[in-house]
Amino acid sequence: MGYSGEYAVRATGLKKSYGETQALKGVDIHVKTGTVLGVLGPNGAGKTTAVRILTTLLQPDAGTAEVAGVDVLAHPDQARRVIGLSGQYAAVDEILTGRENLIMFGQLYGLPKSIAKARATELLAQFGLTAAGDRILKTYSGGMRRRLDLAASLIVAPPVLVLDEPTTGLDPRSRADMWQVIENLVSDGTTVLLTTQYLEEADRLANEIVVIDHGLVIAKGTADELKTQLGGERLDISVADGSNLAEVEQSLQQLASTWGIAGNEVLVEPHTRRFTVPYPAGAAGLMQAVRDLDSVGIHPTDFSLRRPTLDDVFLQLTGHAAEDMEGDGSYE
């Protein structure tokens, strides 16, 4: 598939401001050839801004970007030949059929019409859109439109594929289909950079993960490394209406310390009366957790053990919840 250097994507010190908003404050992104890098971050973290810079749509204020050995800033036109982009929102013509869309984009890549047609037929088949190929896109579901958008970015089988939140807004079934498609592309040798808000998605697809927040990289590593950093599963404990939350919190902090968890990692959401605490023993120690709670006099109305979510990543890494990202980012 063309590129054989060590890093298919190499961006350093990317900075970009929109007026007062500093969307990127110096971000490095490196993707090893043939692997998948997941860029994880909440709304407004700067994911799309980074994607747009790497795909020639936006000029950074500072930094360098190279894709498949091509300097994106110096030779945008050459870069456009080696990058396939599927943006955050499907970028296809709603009033054309799926086939017409693919033929048009093929011709714009410079393919003669006959080849563009053959390629369109192939891609429709590959993405399970043969039956829908001659319907206009207005009649497509979100998942179908998203797949067509991806197909459009694969017309010349580019060595590097950039996907901005490829499964946001899809139902679980379409999401699983999309994951399968991406895995197939990777096994054929494509290098993929994808952004996501879902830890689960990064976990499933990405060899390495970069977590960004407020335009800065705040963590990076493999999914396992990040999870270890997160300290494993979480216990959610809800208590009855009218309980003394401060008392419960104190008991829970004491209990947590016996599990090796610092007191400040016990979180409380007063309006739902729910506490969240990392639980290193995981599912195997579930019974023990129930007994421990009982022994300190906590009687949950609801109790569950779950894997960490993106929110937990943020709590851990930044000390504030993902929803509090807007504004000055402080968390009271």
Partner 1 sequence: MSSTDLTNDVRLSSALNLTARSKPRFVQLLNDSFVIGWRNLLRVPRQIDWLIGVTIMPLMFLLMFRYIFAGTVQMTLPQGVSAVNYLVVGILLQGIVFSGMNTGYGLAMDAKEGLMDRFRSLPMQHLAVVLGRIVADMAIAIFSTVTTILVAFAVGFRPTANLGEWLAAIGIMGLTAFVFCWLGAVIGLALKTVEAVSSIGFSAIMPLTFISSAFISTDFLPSWLQGFAANQPFSLSVNATRGLLNGYPDVGNTAWLAVMWWLGTLVVVIPLTAWLFEKRGE
Which residues of this chain interact with ligand ATP, rule CB under 6 A? 18, 21, 23, 41, 43-49, 88, 197
State the residue for tokens 């894997």.
307
Among residues 5, 62, 74, 125, the one that binds partner 1 under rule CB under 8 A: 125
Q: How many CB atoms lie within 10 A of CB 309?
A: 15
C-beta of 46 vs 158, nearer to ligand ATP: 46
The sign of the CA dihedral 246, 252, 258, 259 is: negative
CB of 172 to ligand ATP, least distance (A): 20
How distant, in Å, are the alpha carbons of 158, 280, 309, 327 from that of 150?
12, 40, 27, 34
C-beta of 42 vs 98, nearer to ligand ATP: 42
| Pattern 135-154, partner 1, x by CB under 8 A | -x---------------x--
Among residues 7, 41, 99, 105, the one that binds partner 1 under rule CB under 8 A: 105
Among residues 5, 21, 94, 331, the one that binds partner 1 under rule CB under 8 A: 94
CB contact burial 122-153 (16+ within 10 A = b; e otherwise) = ebbeebebeebbeeebeebeebbbbbbbbbbb
Stretch touching partner 1 by CB under 8 A, among 120-128, 275-283, 289-297, 323-331: 120-128
**Quick one: how far is CA 268 from the chain centroid?**
27
33 binds, among ligand ATP, Mg ion, partner 1, none (CB under 5 to 8 A by kind): none
Q: How many residues does the chain have?
A: 332
CB of 44 to Mg ion, least distance (A): 8
Among residues 28, 71, 100, 183, the one that binds partner 1 under rule CB under 8 A: 100
273 binds, among Mg ion, ligand ATP, partner 1, none (CB under 5 to 8 A by kind): none
Whole-number Å distance between alpha carbons of 184 and 190: 9
Site residue total, partner 1 (CB under 8 A): 44
- The residue whose Cβ lies closest to Mg ion is 48
Crossing angle of helices 223-230 and 310-318, in 10° steps, is 70
C-beta of 136 vs 186, nearer to partner 1: 136
State the residue for tokens 């043939």.
34
Whole-number Å distance between alpha carbons of 214 and 96: 38
List residues bridging with 216 in a β-sheet. 213
C-beta of 155 vs 261, nearer to partner 1: 155
| Pattern 152-191, partner 1, x by CB under 8 A | x--xxx------------------------------x---
301 binds, among partner 1, Mg ion, ligand ATP, none (CB under 5 to 8 A by kind): none
Span between the terminal Cα atoms of the chain, in Å: 50
CB contact burial 5-40 (16+ within 10 A = b; e otherwise) = eebbbbbeebbbeeeeebbbbebebbbebbebbbbb
In contact, 302 and 236? CB cutoff 8 Å: yes
Query: Does 73 sit near partner 1 (CB under 8 A)?
Result: no
Q: Which residues bind partner 1 (CB under 8 A)?
A: 2, 18, 52, 55-59, 77-78, 80-81, 83, 85, 87, 89-96, 100, 104-105, 107-112, 115, 118-119, 122, 125-126, 136, 152, 155-157, 188
